[in-house]
Structure 1
Amino acid sequence: MEQGVKERDTMQENLMDMEPDHPIQLVWTDGFGRLNLDLFAAYDCFLNKRYSNYPVFLLCIIGEKRRGKSFLMNYIMRALRSMEMGEEITLGAADEPLKGFDWSPGTESTTKGIWMWNRPFLLNHKGGTIAVFLLDSEGSLDIGSDRETCIKLSALSLFLSSHLIFNVASNLKETELDYMEMYLNMGDEYGPTNLQHLDILVRDWYNSKKWDRDVARSYINLEIEKLHKCNSYPKVLWSLKSNQTRCFLLPHPGKGITVESEGRLQDMDEDFQESLRYYVFELVKRVWTHIKLNINGETLTSAHIPSMLQDFMEVLDQQTYGFSSPMEMFYAMKNQKFMGDIENEFEEFLKNQPSLTLPPTMRVIVSEKSSELLQKFKQSLQGSNASSHNAMLKDLETRLLERQEKFHTDFPTRFKMNAAGVCITACLGVYGVMGAAAAQGTVVLAAQPVVGEKAVAMEVASGAVSMFTTVMSAVLGRFFR
């Protein structure tokens, strides 16, 4: 059997080697705006035994549609391919047509959902190997699409990445700041303190001659000043000041990149070529320090990703209360998680209730606890979406009532069974006492020589038996009436 498994794995590896590289759709949206995960694609990409135990670097890029995200990802892929082959980092030949993720200049987007390259780039460094996965998204910041779907798609991209590129047109706008604030809050909730590594990539920078690191730093400092004044994005402000966030500026690629263009380097303006090369080289050289970590800061391997992805997809699928901004969705996710904690607390409370409390009394106790937990949840709700809060409260109230009714239906049986046990134990004790008294009366009876004294002893014995009968009737009547 082991030999057969080895032969199968070898065959899979050979097929993978023979299959041309290509993009596959990992997540897609249906006609109702729901996100759907292609599990087969996830398993096929992340669980291949050639690299499933390697640490992973997941590069995601999000931003408005038709802003060159796929175009950029294809040049990053060229650089990674050269690194994988042990060659000098390069963006390819000047006349080489651009291939990889679908791209084209214009207004029509070609990517829907989240796509990924069908295999990672395996890079060796200091005796170790890392698996580099590339994920491309479209629709994450698409204003013309369903708002909730876009937010969920962005949240998924943010959650997956170990290195995130915010592809920004010309300058940071409120839309990007909203998503960045959600992204950074998600880092606190679902990952280590410094969850991701963030690049703010400003496209079509107005000055094609001045785009270097110092200019980018000056631009970020201006954004920091604005954020200090508005005080609306505390996490973004903190991030822009930290070493985890970097800013790069790319000028316009030039008129050579047209609808008929094949995306060749020679079609770009020289300033854009230079800035593109600088950014891509800076990015790929850092993959070793940007591997994916879990919430405890531990390294994740490729094999961990499918289950992690499924779990977060379930979290997103539960967000049915409505939201119109990235932060509203974050608060909805956090409130949903707290709702689950409340339900667990109620369940634990019911488990720990004593079995000998009278059912009417138990109803009062459970009802008071349910009201207490509802109030606790109401006071802890985050965000300002009142309709979402009301819907959640109503939902939680319904769930607690359903659980109460089931508990109260089952409790009388549990009560009677435990009461019967206590009753029998108690009555056996009474029986022992009464029996001893009766026995003593019998002994006295046998020892009495005088008829009158024997009559007294018989009365003692019969009285003990009568008392036992009375006690048994009282106790059983008490518990089973």
Structure 2
Amino acid sequence: SFVLDEKALESILLRNDIKNKKVCVISIAGAFRKGKSFLLDFFLRYLNTIDKSTWLKDPEVPLKGFPWRAGSERETTGILMWSEPFLVTASNGEEIALILMDTQGSFDTRTTVKQCATIFALSTMLSSVQIYNIQNNLQEDNLQHLQLFTEYGRLASESGFDSKPFENLLFLIRDWCYKHEYDYGFEGGQKLLDKRLDIDDDDTHSELKNLRIHLKSCFSRLYCFLLPHPGMEVASDPNFDGKLKDINPPFVDQLGSLVPSLLDSSNLRAKQINGVELTAKSLFEYFKVYMRIYQGDTLPEPKSMLEATAEANNISLVQSCRDHYLEAMNKICGPGRPYVNTPDVENAHLKYKLEALTQFEKKPKMGSKEYCRQHMTKLTEAIDSLGDDFHKSNADKNVLKNMKTPACLILVMIVAYVLTGITELVGLSPITRLLLMPFYLCLLSLITWLILSYAGQAPGVIEVINQATDQFFNLVMVPTVQYLAQLQMRHLRN
């Protein structure tokens, strides 16, 4: 079975400059040794070229990026994600993170059918555009591999999905040699796809007919591109390094059409699940949830896939609403903000808690009402816990309150010290020795309080000293100050 490298995925999706941005994921899947990684490296070349009009101009530049080579043995294993997301401006003007994924080729001699299906399913469910890499022609068995997704789509529709469960599926036909029937590119590819998906009431078997009907209802867009053979040197020369001069010109010409159409910013849109656009942070949660159900010995049922999607959907939404609360509260009393009156903090907490819960209620969710209610409860608990933290951190910023204990102790020490001097001066030595006791007691308490507060140790001892100081402050110092103030007022009246 496959294992998710969470640390590697975290380093890509949870970067500070990426995690809160919406994502677009382009993935490629299909049979092994059919040039998937080779094609993705042209994607990288296009994305790394500043002047897009020159990206195919230099015939001497070797191809770099995802590992690939000519030969009969597989090169890619599992699912690989390019480690550097590309920040691009989407069609709506918003900056999003574009992520490229490469997948292990299916149907090699070392991969089980279940593993092949797992790779294809994961990449399809997580991608904005899934490129289905097919050799020579679009045949019935290629469509049969999509049966799992049509069943998932049927269940999703019955469960009240607000949109089609999958986004864009591009059938990329490699080494197309029937140009006289259907020309290279999108136009010829669309004609071929329409022909293959056509339903003839008389000739089409009911099972094949249902497959086609459900396939169209599962994906937002189904389209096809016909790509010619790149040349024998590409396929057989072990020293081939991707230079354009060694590739057949018709292949290069079609790349000039295919790649910009997929990667031009005007054509890119954020990944959506159930009508909700995903951020990099939420995509990370979907990866984790999906990997759990695909780690068993058998391929999960479509129902399990749907339940996993519902779980990831609710987890992602809880996290988004929690982040909304966190961001708003940080502006009021977060790190770097000054002390705020306690009632103001509580009012802000209640206001933004209500906003977060309202946001959760209004956003499209998957799963039963009871299941969504459970996540609503989790969100409420998480926000209340954060509210307690904000109250505590805000209280810690109250300088006057924090300095109350040492100030009182120092004041008592000063008073005791002055009185001992006076009593010693007038010859009242027994009283002097008596007054030294509160002086040294306060000195010991002050030193203990400072050391423990700095070290963050023994909070119980600190609390005892604080309580004793509060008692002295309220029972002795406050009445004394009030009495002196009254005497001063009488003096002023007289």
TM-score (norm. length: structure 2):
0.55
Relative to 1, partners in 2 of residues 1:115 and 1:92: Cα closer, same or farther, differing over 3 Å?
farther
The answer (yes or no) to whether the contact 2:46–2:52 under 8 Å persists in 1 is: no
Relative to 1, partners in 2 of residues 1:148 and 1:87: Cα closer, same or farther, differing over 3 Å?
closer
Q: What is the letter of the counterpart of residue 250 of structure 2?
A: D
C-alpha distance in 1 between matches for 2:87 and 2:57: 19
Aligned residue among 292, 303, 307 for 2:281:
303
Relative to 1, partners in 2 of residues 1:181 and 1:291: Cα closer, same or farther, differing over 3 Å?
farther
Corresponding residue of 1:265: 244
C-alpha distance in 2 between matches for 1:94 and 1:227: 47
Corresponding residue of 2:253: 274
Cα shift at 1:273:
1.1
> Do structure 1's residue 150 and structure 2's residue 150 form an aligned pair?
no
Q: What is the letter of the counterpart of residue 267 of structure 1?
A: D
User: Which SS does the other structure have where 1:62 is aligned?
Assistant: strand
Q: What is the letter of the counterpart of residue 186 of structure 2?
A: R
Corresponding residue of 1:284: 263
Cα shift at 1:71:
0.5
Residues 402-423 of structure 1 show CA distances to partners (whole Å, capped at 9, x for unaligned) of: xxxxxxxxxxxxxxxxxxxxxx
Alignment of 1:169-184 (within 5 A): 169-184=135-150
> Do structure 1's residue 105 and structure 2's residue 70 form an aligned pair?
yes
Cα shift at 1:254:
1.2
User: Which SS does the other structure have where 2:101 is aligned?
Assistant: strand
Corresponding residue of 1:231: 206
The answer (yes or no) to whether the contact 1:253–1:272 under 8 Å persists in 2 is: yes
User: Which SS does the other structure have where 1:35 is aligned?
Assistant: coil
Alignment of 1:300-339 (within 5 A): 300-317=278-295, 319-320=296-297, 322=298, 329-331=300-302, 333=304
C-alpha distance in 1 between matches for 2:220 and 2:278: 22
Cα shift at 1:130:
1.0
Q: Which moved more, 1:188-197 or 1:95-104?
A: 188-197
Corresponding residue of 1:213: 186
Q: What is the letter of the counterpart of residue 248 of structure 1?
A: F
> Do structure 1's residue 62 and structure 2's residue 29 form an aligned pair?
yes
Cα shift at 1:288:
4.7
Cα shift at 1:264:
1.5
Relative to 1, partners in 2 of residues 1:71 and 1:286: Cα closer, same or farther, differing over 3 Å?
same
Relative to 1, partners in 2 of residues 1:304 and 1:205: Cα closer, same or farther, differing over 3 Å?
same
Residues 415-449 of structure 1 show CA distances to partners (whole Å, capped at 9, x for unaligned) of: xxxxxxxxxxxxxxxxxxxxxxxxxxxxxxxxxxx
C-alpha distance in 2 between matches for 1:89 and 1:196: 30
Q: What is the letter of the counterpart of residue 290 of structure 1?
A: R
Corresponding residue of 1:479: none
Cα shift at 1:143:
6.3
C-alpha distance in 2 between matches for 1:143 and 1:224: 31
Cα shift at 1:243:
6.6
Cα shift at 1:168:
0.5
The answer (yes or no) to whether the contact 1:201–1:249 under 8 Å persists in 2 is: yes
Cα shift at 1:290:
3.4
User: Which SS does the other structure have where 1:201 is aligned?
Assistant: strand
Cα shift at 1:289:
4.4
Residues 150-169 of structure 1 show CA distances to partners (whole Å, capped at 9, x for unaligned) of: 21122111111111000001
Q: What is the letter of the counterpart of residue 82 of structure 2?
A: W
The answer (yes or no) to whether the contact 1:256–1:267 under 8 Å persists in 2 is: yes
The answer (yes or no) to whether the contact 2:62–2:241 under 8 Å persists in 1 is: yes
C-alpha distance in 2 between matches for 1:188 and 1:50: 37
Residues 166-209 of structure 1 show CA distances to partners (whole Å, capped at 9, x for unaligned) of: 00011123442122232344455567415211100000101357
Q: What is the letter of the counterpart of residue 249 of structure 1?
A: L
The answer (yes or no) to whether the contact 2:150–2:214 under 8 Å persists in 1 is: no
User: Which SS does the other structure have where 1:311 is aligned?
Assistant: helix
Cα shift at 1:110:
1.2
C-alpha distance in 1 between matches for 2:11 and 2:48: 20
Residues 72-124 of structure 1 show CA distances to partners (whole Å, capped at 9, x for unaligned) of: 00101111222xx4654724622110110011121111110001110111113
Corresponding residue of 2:355: none
Alignment of 1:29-428 (within 5 A): 34-82=1-49, 85=50, 87-88=52-53, 90-91=55-56, 93-125=58-90, 127-142=93-108, 145-187=111-153, 192-207=163-178, 210-225=183-198, 229-233=204-208, 234-237=210-213, 239=215, 244-257=221-234, 258-285=237-264, 288-295=267-274, 297-317=275-295, 319-320=296-297, 322=298, 329-331=300-302, 333=304
Corresponding residue of 1:428: none
Residues 31-71 of structure 1 show CA distances to partners (whole Å, capped at 9, x for unaligned) of: xxx11000001111000011211110001100000000001
C-alpha distance in 2 between matches for 1:252 and 1:274: 12
C-alpha distance in 2 between matches for 1:260 and 1:114: 26
C-alpha distance in 1 between matches for 2:75 and 2:185: 31
Cα shift at 1:266:
1.4
Residues 208-267 of structure 1 show CA distances to partners (whole Å, capped at 9, x for unaligned) of: 573143322331233124786133343444546987011100011112313221111111
Corresponding residue of 1:382: none
Relative to 1, partners in 2 of residues 1:87 and 1:253: Cα closer, same or farther, differing over 3 Å?
closer
What are structure 1's unaligned runs of at least 5 residues?
1-33, 324-328, 341-481
C-alpha distance in 2 between matches for 1:335 and 1:244: 20
